[in-house]
Copies of this chain bind each other. A is one copy, B any other.
Amino acid sequence: MQFAMIGLGKMGGNMVRRLRRAGIDVAGYDRDAQVVDGLVQDCAMVGATSVEDAVSKLSAPRIVWLMVPSGEATESQIKALAPMLSKGDIIIDGGNSNYKDSQRHGAWLAEHGIGFMDAGTSGGVWGLDNGYCLMVGAAPAVAKTVEPFLKALAPAPDTGWSHVGPVGSGHFTKMIHNGIEYGMMQALAEGLDLLKGKKEFDLDLGEVTELWRHGSVVRSWLLDLTAEALKGDQDLKSVAPYVADSGEGRWTVMESVEQGVAAPVLTLALQMRFASQDEEGYGFRLLSLMRNAFGGHAVKAK
């Protein structure tokens, strides 16, 4: 057994299941022992009681795939893992790390002779059945070693995974992927908002989105999911008009600024999420005040 998964949450757990379906032996560890037990029973994963225990079950070249939150958690996990590994072993960061962090991690591990791969992983909760889209950055030899596992995780052995470039390029590609995702989502949401706003036509949004799935120019997986979600209640009264955002949407905007390359729609899609999160609306209050100041326009009282 060569492969361990550290972090068995929504993503990591299903990835273990998919590897097991392909007949691959996997050691797995999670801080939550119940999660480990569940996977042991569910798909005969080899359970581990600690990261060290997981590593101890592997034979060289050992491959340890991290599926933990980006930032601090990933950083400290890599730092802790390095002394447990030997020359030729490989750490894969499958989380949503900033590509600059991955470049730093790769360089640091290289000093210790340990290989590193940043594997941008898309597919969400559907990846178990559909496979994961894997954007991989690594040295050629590292990629070669990991290839059999990538083939099992991807939608098909020859599609949906690719070694796109050197260390860092995998997370970079995933970052841009998520930036595009923000833009596409915002485009869809705005269009549907306008459909709903046209009271005189009383359109059924579930019907229209289902219709568009077949033969239209906007057919897409996001549309598939939206059509499915709109089959029930379309008023969404139970859903708050609050849209969270994560690191990659923000980093895409910063990349645009650093490159000096215009990405107005990706940027604006993020800005609109910020607006959705803004409960205070101070900027809007200021605007209302200004209108009052120059034109005597009534201010709407809170």
Q: Name A's B-contacting residues (CB within 8 A).
A: 10, 122-127, 130-133, 135, 137, 154-156, 159-162, 164-166, 168-169, 172-173, 176-198, 201-204, 207-208, 210-223, 225-226, 228-229, 236-245, 250, 252-278, 280-297, 299-302
Contacts and interface: CB of A to CB of B under 8 A. Distances in A.
A282 B185 contact: no
A208 B172 CA distance: 11
A237 to B, nearest CB: 6
Contacts of A265: 183, 186-187, 190, 265, 268-269, 272
Given A217-B124, A236-B285, A276-B281, A290 B211 contact: no
Contact of A124 (B126, B212, B281, B296): B296
B243 A284 contact: yes
Nearest to A255: B194
Contacts of A218: 177, 180-181, 184, 220-222
A222 to B, nearest CB: 6
Nearest to A302: B240
Contact of A168 (B130, B201, B290): B201
A261 to B, nearest CB: 5
Given A133-B214, A268-B267, A302-B237, A229 B290 contact: yes
Given A125-B296, A241-B282, A177 B216 contact: yes
- Chain A binding site: helix, strand, loop or mixed by DSSP? helix
A91 to B, nearest CB: 20
Question: How many copies of the polypeptide does the oligomer hold?
Answer: 4
The 5 closest A-B pairs by CB, nearest first: A241-B281, A183-B187, A220-B220, A160-B214, A133-B215
A302 to B, nearest CB: 5
A193 B176 CA distance: 10
A238 to B, nearest CB: 6
Contact of A215 (B154, B263, B268): B154
B296 A162 contact: no
Contacts of A300: 239-240, 242, 244
Given A160-B211, A180-B188, A290-B222, A271 B278 contact: no
Contact of A221 (B126, B127, B220, B276): B220
11 contacts: A123-B215, A160-B214, A164-B201, A176-B195, A184-B184, A222-B294, A226-B293, A243-B288, A244-B291, A244-B300, A276-B284
Given A180-B218, A265-B265, 8 more contacts: A155-B215, A160-B215, A190-B256, A192-B283, A193-B263, A218-B222, A263-B271, A267-B268
A9 to B, nearest CB: 10
